[in-house]
Amino acid sequence: MAELATIARPYAEALFRVAKSSNMNAWSDLVSEMAQVGAHPDVKALAANPNVSDRQVIETLLALLKSEVSKEVKNLVEVLVENDRVGLLPEIGVQFQALKNADQGTADAEIFSAFAMSDAQVAELTKVLGKKFGRKLKPTVIVDNSLIGGVRVVVGDEVYDTSIRAKLQQMHAALVS
Protein backbone atom coordinates (compact mmCIF):
# COMPACT_ATOMS: atom_id res chain seq x y z
CA MET A 1 0.00 0.00 0.00
CA ALA A 2 2.98 2.29 -0.42
CA GLU A 3 1.23 3.99 -3.33
CA LEU A 4 -1.73 5.01 -1.17
CA ALA A 5 0.64 6.30 1.47
CA THR A 6 2.53 8.34 -1.11
CA ILE A 7 -0.62 9.88 -2.51
CA ALA A 8 -2.13 10.54 0.94
CA ARG A 9 1.00 12.17 2.42
CA PRO A 10 0.55 15.68 0.90
CA TYR A 11 -3.07 15.81 2.08
CA ALA A 12 -2.09 14.74 5.61
CA GLU A 13 0.76 17.25 5.71
CA ALA A 14 -1.51 20.07 4.55
CA LEU A 15 -4.12 19.20 7.18
CA PHE A 16 -1.39 19.02 9.80
CA ARG A 17 -0.12 22.50 8.90
CA VAL A 18 -3.65 23.89 9.22
CA ALA A 19 -4.19 22.05 12.51
CA LYS A 20 -0.89 23.24 13.94
CA SER A 21 -1.91 26.86 13.41
CA SER A 22 -5.29 26.19 14.99
CA ASN A 23 -6.71 23.74 17.55
CA MET A 24 -4.72 20.50 17.15
CA ASN A 25 -7.04 18.36 19.29
CA ALA A 26 -10.17 19.46 17.46
CA TRP A 27 -8.49 18.83 14.11
CA SER A 28 -7.22 15.45 15.28
CA ASP A 29 -10.75 14.41 16.23
CA LEU A 30 -12.11 15.69 12.91
CA VAL A 31 -9.46 13.91 10.82
CA SER A 32 -10.11 10.71 12.77
CA GLU A 33 -13.83 11.07 12.12
CA MET A 34 -13.21 11.69 8.41
CA ALA A 35 -11.02 8.57 8.27
CA GLN A 36 -13.79 6.48 9.81
CA VAL A 37 -16.38 7.87 7.41
CA GLY A 38 -14.06 7.27 4.44
CA ALA A 39 -13.42 3.68 5.51
CA HIS A 40 -17.10 2.75 5.63
CA PRO A 41 -18.04 0.36 2.78
CA ASP A 42 -21.24 2.26 1.97
CA VAL A 43 -19.31 5.52 1.58
CA LYS A 44 -16.79 3.81 -0.69
CA ALA A 45 -19.62 2.40 -2.78
CA LEU A 46 -21.32 5.78 -2.99
CA ALA A 47 -18.11 7.51 -4.08
CA ALA A 48 -17.49 4.86 -6.75
CA ASN A 49 -21.05 4.93 -8.10
CA PRO A 50 -21.07 6.60 -11.53
CA ASN A 51 -24.78 7.44 -11.18
CA VAL A 52 -24.09 9.74 -8.22
CA SER A 53 -22.77 13.22 -8.96
CA ASP A 54 -19.68 14.64 -7.29
CA ARG A 55 -21.85 17.29 -5.62
CA GLN A 56 -24.07 14.58 -4.07
CA VAL A 57 -21.03 12.69 -2.77
CA ILE A 58 -19.54 15.88 -1.31
CA GLU A 59 -22.80 16.84 0.40
CA THR A 60 -23.24 13.32 1.77
CA LEU A 61 -19.70 13.16 3.15
CA LEU A 62 -20.03 16.55 4.81
CA ALA A 63 -23.42 15.59 6.26
CA LEU A 64 -21.95 12.42 7.77
CA LEU A 65 -19.41 14.40 9.78
CA LYS A 66 -20.60 15.20 13.29
CA SER A 67 -17.87 17.77 13.91
CA GLU A 68 -18.11 21.35 12.76
CA VAL A 69 -17.10 21.56 9.10
CA SER A 70 -14.75 24.40 8.21
CA LYS A 71 -13.91 25.88 4.84
CA GLU A 72 -10.69 23.84 4.77
CA VAL A 73 -12.59 20.59 5.33
CA LYS A 74 -15.06 21.44 2.57
CA ASN A 75 -12.17 22.18 0.21
CA LEU A 76 -10.43 18.91 1.11
CA VAL A 77 -13.57 16.85 0.59
CA GLU A 78 -14.25 18.57 -2.75
CA VAL A 79 -10.70 17.91 -3.97
CA LEU A 80 -10.81 14.27 -2.87
CA VAL A 81 -14.18 13.63 -4.50
CA GLU A 82 -13.32 15.42 -7.74
CA ASN A 83 -10.09 13.41 -8.04
CA ASP A 84 -11.71 10.06 -7.06
CA ARG A 85 -9.63 9.86 -3.89
CA VAL A 86 -12.23 9.44 -1.16
CA GLY A 87 -10.61 6.08 -0.42
CA LEU A 88 -7.53 7.94 0.83
CA LEU A 89 -9.31 9.28 3.91
CA PRO A 90 -8.27 6.37 6.20
CA GLU A 91 -4.62 6.66 5.13
CA ILE A 92 -4.73 10.45 5.52
CA GLY A 93 -5.97 9.86 9.07
CA VAL A 94 -3.12 7.45 9.82
CA GLN A 95 -0.50 9.81 8.46
CA PHE A 96 -2.00 12.83 10.24
CA GLN A 97 -1.85 10.93 13.54
CA ALA A 98 1.78 9.98 12.87
CA LEU A 99 2.66 13.62 12.18
CA LYS A 100 0.88 14.71 15.35
CA ASN A 101 2.67 12.07 17.42
CA ALA A 102 6.07 13.00 15.97
CA ASP A 103 5.43 16.67 16.72
CA GLN A 104 4.45 15.90 20.31
CA GLY A 105 7.22 13.35 20.90
CA THR A 106 4.72 10.57 21.46
CA ALA A 107 3.80 7.32 19.76
CA ASP A 108 0.85 4.95 19.69
CA ALA A 109 1.67 1.59 21.27
CA GLU A 110 -0.35 -1.56 20.79
CA ILE A 111 0.22 -3.86 23.73
CA PHE A 112 -0.85 -7.42 23.06
CA SER A 113 -1.19 -9.30 26.33
CA ALA A 114 -2.13 -12.90 27.08
CA PHE A 115 -4.34 -11.67 29.91
CA ALA A 116 -6.31 -8.54 30.79
CA MET A 117 -4.15 -5.90 32.44
CA SER A 118 -5.09 -3.48 35.22
CA ASP A 119 -4.64 0.26 34.75
CA ALA A 120 -1.70 0.18 37.17
CA GLN A 121 0.01 -2.59 35.17
CA VAL A 122 -0.52 -0.69 31.91
CA ALA A 123 0.85 2.51 33.46
CA GLU A 124 3.96 0.74 34.80
CA LEU A 125 4.60 -1.10 31.53
CA THR A 126 4.09 2.11 29.54
CA LYS A 127 6.58 3.92 31.78
CA VAL A 128 9.24 1.23 31.26
CA LEU A 129 8.57 0.93 27.51
CA GLY A 130 8.62 4.72 27.13
CA LYS A 131 12.25 4.67 28.26
CA LYS A 132 13.05 1.78 25.90
CA PHE A 133 11.46 3.45 22.86
CA GLY A 134 12.60 6.95 23.83
CA ARG A 135 9.23 8.68 23.68
CA LYS A 136 5.98 8.93 25.57
CA LEU A 137 3.62 6.11 24.61
CA LYS A 138 -0.15 6.13 24.24
CA PRO A 139 -1.08 2.50 24.98
CA THR A 140 -3.88 0.40 23.59
CA VAL A 141 -4.18 -3.01 25.22
CA ILE A 142 -5.42 -5.97 23.21
CA VAL A 143 -5.90 -9.38 24.82
CA ASP A 144 -4.43 -12.19 22.67
CA ASN A 145 -4.70 -15.61 24.31
CA SER A 146 -2.39 -17.17 21.72
CA LEU A 147 0.60 -15.43 23.36
CA ILE A 148 0.29 -17.89 26.29
CA GLY A 149 2.02 -15.37 28.59
CA GLY A 150 3.97 -12.11 28.46
CA VAL A 151 3.40 -9.19 26.11
CA ARG A 152 4.07 -8.15 22.54
CA VAL A 153 4.38 -4.40 21.98
CA VAL A 154 4.14 -2.71 18.58
CA VAL A 155 5.23 0.93 18.29
CA GLY A 156 5.18 2.08 14.68
CA ASP A 157 7.38 -0.39 12.84
CA GLU A 158 9.20 -1.55 15.99
CA VAL A 159 8.19 -4.73 17.82
CA TYR A 160 9.20 -5.76 21.33
CA ASP A 161 8.08 -9.35 21.94
CA THR A 162 8.53 -11.02 25.33
CA SER A 163 5.66 -13.47 24.93
CA ILE A 164 5.92 -17.17 25.71
CA ARG A 165 4.84 -17.90 22.13
CA ALA A 166 7.81 -15.91 20.77
CA LYS A 167 10.22 -17.71 23.10
CA LEU A 168 8.83 -21.08 22.02
CA GLN A 169 9.23 -20.08 18.36
CA GLN A 170 12.84 -19.07 19.04
CA MET A 171 13.51 -22.41 20.73
CA HIS A 172 11.91 -24.26 17.83
CA ALA A 173 14.03 -22.38 15.31
CA ALA A 174 17.19 -23.12 17.31
CA LEU A 175 16.37 -26.82 17.56
CA VAL A 176 15.50 -27.17 13.87
CA SER A 177 18.64 -25.44 12.58
Does residue 123 have a pLDDT over 60? Answer: yes
Q: How many domains does the chain have?
A: 2
Q: What is the largest CA-CA distance in the chain?
A: 63
**Are residues 91 and 116 located together in one domain of the fold?**
no
**Are residues 132 and 91 located together in one domain of the fold?**
no
Chosen domain end from 101, 124, 155: 101
Q: For the whole model, what pTM was predicted? A: 0.77
**Are residues 42 and 22 located together in one domain of the fold?**
yes
Does residue 64 have a pLDDT over 80? Answer: yes
**Are residues 15 and 83 located together in one domain of the fold?**
yes
Encode pLDDT of 74-121 as tens digits.
Answer: 999 999 999 999 999 999 999 999 999 999 999 999 999 999 999 999
Alpha carbons 130 and 136: distance in angstroms, whole number: 5
**Are residues 160 and 144 located together in one domain of the fold?**
yes
**Are residues 72 and 127 located together in one domain of the fold?**
no
Alpha carbons 152 and 23: distance in angstroms, whole number: 34
Query: Which pLDDT score, from 0 to 100, does residue 89 have?
Result: 97
> Which structural domain, as residue segments, surrounds residue 93?
2-101
Chosen domain end from 101, 122, 148: 101
Closest CA to 91 of 34, 21, 20, 154: 34
Q: What is the CATH number of the domain that holds 51?
A: 1.10.520.20
**Are residues 91 and 110 located together in one domain of the fold?**
no
1: pLDDT confidence band, cut at 50, 70 and 90? Answer: low
Encode pLDDT of 7-31 as tens digits.
Answer: 999 999 999 999 999 999 999 999 9
**Are residues 28 and 96 located together in one domain of the fold?**
yes
Query: Which pLDDT score, from 0 to 100, does residue 67 have?
Result: 84
Encode pLDDT of 148-163 as tens digits.
Answer: 999 999 998 899 999 9
